Amino acid sequence: MFSLNRATIIGNATRDPELRTTPTGRSVTSFAVATNRRWSDRESGEAKEEVQFHEIVVWGKMAEVAAQYIHKGNKVYVEGRLQTRTWEGQDGARREKTEIVAENFIFLTPKGGSSPDKIAADTVDEPQPKADAPPAQKETKEKAEKAEKSDEDEINLDEIPF
């Protein structure tokens, strides 16, 4: 039997992200997101609201992007896994913190009225092909360029078989 550890939230950043670098040189950013839950009290009919604060941790290239573009108050979609860390505080007491380790996030606050940008772990860390790519990569690139050019050509209705 397998298990699933997945967290998905949409909310507002409560502070500007803090970008740090580990001793090994890896980037890590942390920030918090607030989510709201609204409901009506059954007895009084009064509108009620509850706020939850979620600590977010982002690693690698995504951490650098988050630190650059997320700002306090921005609406953001975050998807990742839950992780609980434990440590001993300076006073000797045991401390515990549950965080969402982000694997994907989407900016939902438009920049200048444009559509939101999506940053995903599998696209940010994607290696770029080298200039001296192997023949198979060059052929694939050439096919893609031909397909783009053919898409630009006008469609001749006489060539459609139906």
What CATH code is carried by the domain that includes residue 39? 2.40.50.140
DSSP 159: G
Q: How many CB atoms lie within 10 A of CB 109?
A: 14
Q: What is the pLDDT of residue 129?
A: 40
Q: What is the pLDDT of residue 154?
A: 52
Cα-based angle 80, 108, 8 (whole degrees, multiple of 5): 25
Residue 107 domain flag:
yes
Task: State the pLDDT confidence band at 96, using cuts at 50, 70 and 90.
Answer: very high
Residue 161 domain flag:
no
Counted domains in the chain:
1
pLDDT tens for each residue of 102-143: 999 999 988 654 333 444 443 444 333 444 444 444 455 555
- Looking up tokens 């609204």, which residue turns up? 38
Task: State the pLDDT confidence band at 157, using cuts at 50, 70 and 90.
Answer: low
Task: State the pLDDT confidence band at 93, using cuts at 50, 70 and 90.
Answer: very high
Whole-structure pTM value: 0.65
Tell me which residue of 27, 36, 124, 109 sits closest to 71, measured CA to CA: 109
